[in-house]
Amino acid sequence: MLQFFKYVLATFVGIILFIFLSFFILAGIGSLFSSEEKVVLNDKSILKLDLNKPIQEVGVENPFADLGGFFQGNENVAGLKDIIEALKNAQTDDKVKGIYLKTENPEAGWATLEEIRNQLLEFKKSKKFIVTYGESYSEKGYYIASLADKIYLNPAGGMEWNGLSAEYSFFKGTFDKLDIKPLVFRVGEFKSAIEMFSRADMSEASKKQSIELITAINNNFLKNISASRKIPVETLKGLADSLAVENPKSALKYQFVTNLGYQDELEAYLKKELKVEEKKDISYVGVDKYLKGDSKIDDGDFNKRIGVLVAEGEITSGDGGDDNIGSEKFVKELKKIRENDKIKAVVIRINSPGGSALASDVMWREIKLTAKKKPVIASMSDVAASGGYYLAMGCDTIVAQPNTITGSIGIFGLIFNVTDFMNNKLGITFDGVGTSPHADWPTATREMTDFEKATIQKSVNEGYDTFTKKAAEGRKMSVEKLKSLAQGRVWSGVEAKENGLVDVLGGVDDAIKIAAKAAKLSEGDYRVRYYPEKKKPFDELVSKVMNDEEEKASAKTLGELAPYVKMYKKLMNMGGMQTRMPFEMVIR
C-alpha cells in the first residue's frame, strides 16, 4: 500500500511540475509577442499583398504559422480591415514605391474582393505601380489581377475563363444511408435550405433564383474587368462561351495579361523600375509587418469614435465561438458601445448566412435600442442573408456591395428524427414516460404526430410574419410589398437596392462615412475602432491549442464513435427555427 501511495504522489508531483513548466514556457512566449520590434522600411520598399489565403473581416496572426509539426494547420488568416488599412497608408507613404500582388486563387467571397479591388483602384491614383505574377489565375484571382499595370503569367501556366457557376451539396443520400429522417417546416417558395436534406437536386424555384443571382454577380465582374482591361463586355462573354482563353498564349493574345514570363523576369523588371542593383534583393514588406511600422495615417479625436462591430459567421444563441456570432456576446458588446459616450455612431459589419431565428431577434432588439441613442449603419460583406438581413433591417441605413448576397427573408424549422440512426448505427434505443401525451415534444427520438407537426408549422408561420413585419417596418414599405420580395429569396446587392431592401451600394468605408455624417462628425475628426477587439497573438495561440486538445481528447474517448457524435451534434445545432440562407452556395 505504501508503494502505491508513493507512485500516486510521484504522479501528482509530476503533473504539478508539468503545469508550472507549461505556464512559464507559454508566459515566455507571450512576453516575446508583447515586445515586438517596430518595422523600419527601406526607402525603396514594395508592399507585397498575398491574397492566396483565407480572408475574413478581422485577421488572425499566428507567429508559428510557418513552423509545421505541432503547429500544423495554424495558418495566418488575413484580415480585410488590415489589408484596407495597409493600402490606405501605402498610398501616401513615400517609402512604398508600389504593390506586388499574389492573387492566383483568393480564398474570399466576392464582396470582400470588391472591397480590396476598390481600394487598389484608389491606390492607383497615387501613380505608383501595381504588378502581379501568377502561375495560373482563377476567375476570382484575375478579378483582382486585372487592374494591375503589369500582369505576368507563367508561360507554362493556365487561366480560368469560362464563366461563373454555383454548386450545391445535397445530403439526402447520406441521411438515407444513416437512417436519419429530416422533418422540415418552412414558409416561402424560395426557402430552399432544406433541399440539401430532402432532395438530390435543385428545385425549379432554387434554380431560378440562383441563375439570376450569379448572373447579377457576373455582370458586375465583367463590367469592372472591361473597364480595367479595355475589353468590351460582349467580347469577354464570347471568350468565356467559346473557351478561347485556353492557355497563356491566348491570354496574351486577347490582352488578359501584359507579359508571359517567370517570377525572376518580373523581379528584373521591378529592379529596373526601382533602380536597384541586379545583385541586390528587392525589399518586400507584407501587410502584417507593414502595419507595425511608423507610417500609419494619423487618428482623429479620441473622444469622437465610429465603432465598427463585426458580426461574422453563423448566428447562434449564447456566447458563440471564433467562427460564429453568439447572440449573448454580441448583445454585451453592443451594449458597451451604446453606453460609451465617446462612440458617436455604430457600423454593424455583417458577414453571415443567418442561423437561429431566436438569436437573430435578440440581436435585432439590441440594434434597435442602440439606434434610439446614436446612428447605426449596416455594412454588408459577402453574405448578409436571412438572419444576417435580420440584423441589417434594424439599422438606419443599409450599405451593400453590388455582389453581396442578401435577402432570404424567410424562416424554416428543422428537426431530425435520429431514432433509426441511434439504434441501427450505435445500438442506442429510447423509452420513457411523461405526465401528458406531448411531454417530450418536440423530440428527435420518436415519430411525431400530425397534431405536433401542425403546431410546429404554426410557430414557423408566426415567425415568418414577425420577420416580414419587422423588415417592412425597417424598410418603410408595406408588408404586402415586403412579402413579395421575401419568401426566402436571395438577391445580389444590385437587385436588393433596386427592390428597396438596400439603400446604398458601397463598402465598409462608405458605411463609416454615412455614420460619421449622421453623427455630425467632420472628415478626419474622428477615429474608427473595430469591436470586439482583436485578440493578441499569444491569446490566439492558447485558444487554438486548447480547442485542438479538446477535439483530440474527444476523439480518444469516443474512438470510432467520434465522427458519428460530431455529426449528431452538428445536426442538433441546426434544429429549431432557423433564419438561414437557403443553401450552402459556392460561386466559382
Q: Could you read off the pLDDT of 2-39 as tens digits, one per residue?
A: 444 444 445 544 555 455 445 445 545 554 444 455 67
pLDDT in the model for residue 266: 96
285/297 Cα distance (integer angstroms): 18
Which pTM does this prediction carry? 0.84
Single out the catalytic residue among 192, 386, 408, 492.
386
pLDDT tens, residue by residue, 218-253? 999 999 999 999 999 999 999 999 999 989 999 999
CB atoms closer than 10 angstroms to residue 548: 14
Cβ–Cβ under 8 Å, residues 418 and 448: no
For residue 309, the cross-strand partners are 348, 531
Which helix (DSSP H) or strand (DSSP E) does residue 323 occupy?
Answer: none
Q: What are phi and psi of 343, to 5 degrees?
A: -90, 110
Alpha-carbon separation of residue 308 from 118, 132, 350 (angstroms): 20, 32, 10
Which sign, positive or negative, has the C-alpha torsion 67, 68, 69, 70? positive
pLDDT in the model for residue 40: 77
Q: Match 435600442 to its residue by C-alpha cell.
A: 369
374/87 Cα distance (integer angstroms): 30
User: What is the SS3 assignment for 410-472?
Assistant: CEEEEEEECHHHHHHHHCCCCCCCCCCCCCCCCCCCCCCCHHHHHHHHHHHHHHHHHHHHHHH
Q: What are phi and psi of 245, to 5 degrees?
A: -90, 80
pLDDT in the model for residue 2: 45
pLDDT tens for the 588 residues of the chain, in order: 444 444 444 554 455 545 544 544 554 555 444 445 567 788 899 999 999 999 999 877 665 555 554 455 455 678 999 999 999 999 999 999 999 999 999 999 999 999 999 999 999 999 999 999 999 999 999 999 999 999 999 999 999 999 999 888 888 888 889 898 888 888 766 666 678 888 888 888 888 989 999 999 999 999 999 999 999 999 999 999 999 998 999 999 999 999 999 999 999 999 999 999 988 999 999 998 999 887 666 678 889 999 999 999 999 999 888 789 999 999 999 999 999 999 999 999 999 999 999 999 999 999 999 999 999 999 999 999 999 999 999 999 999 999 999 999 988 888 888 899 999 888 999 999 999 999 988 888 899 999 999 999 999 999 999 999 999 999 999 999 999 999 889 999 999 999 999 999 999 999 999 999 999 999 889 999 999 876 555 444 444 444 444 455 555 566 655 655 555 555 555 555 667 665 556 676
pLDDT in the model for residue 171: 84
Residue 191: active-site member: yes
12/18 Cα distance (integer angstroms): 10
Question: Could you give all domains of the chain from N- to C-terminal order, each with its CATH number?
Answer: 45-161+245-290 (3.90.226.10), 305-537+572-587 (3.90.226.10)
**Exposed, middle or buried by CB within 10 Å (0-12, 13-18, 19+), for 325?**
buried
The helix/strand/coil state of 379 is strand
Would you state the cell numbers that stand for residue 581, as one nine-digit string? 440562407
Would you state the cell numbers that stand for residue 78, as one nine-digit string? 488575413
Q: Match 418536440 to its residue by C-alpha cell.
A: 442
**Exposed, middle or buried by CB within 10 Å (0-12, 13-18, 19+), for 199?**
middle
pLDDT in the model for residue 516: 97
- CB-facing half-sphere around the CA of 479: CA atoms within 13 A: 7
Which residues neighbour 7 within 8 Å (Cβ) at sequence distance 6 or greater? none
pLDDT in the model for residue 295: 63
Single out the catalytic residue among 44, 97, 191, 497.
191
Cβ–Cβ under 8 Å, residues 101 and 67: no
Q: Which residue, among 86, 23, 26, 31, has the nearest Cα to 55 in the 3D structure? A: 86
Residue 379: active-site member: no
The helix/strand/coil state of 57 is coil
- CB-facing half-sphere around the CA of 93: CA atoms within 13 A: 29
pLDDT in the model for residue 497: 97
538/548 Cα distance (integer angstroms): 15
Q: Which residue, among 408, 375, 360, has the nearest Cα to 511 in the 3D structure? A: 375
Cβ–Cβ under 8 Å, residues 510 and 399: yes
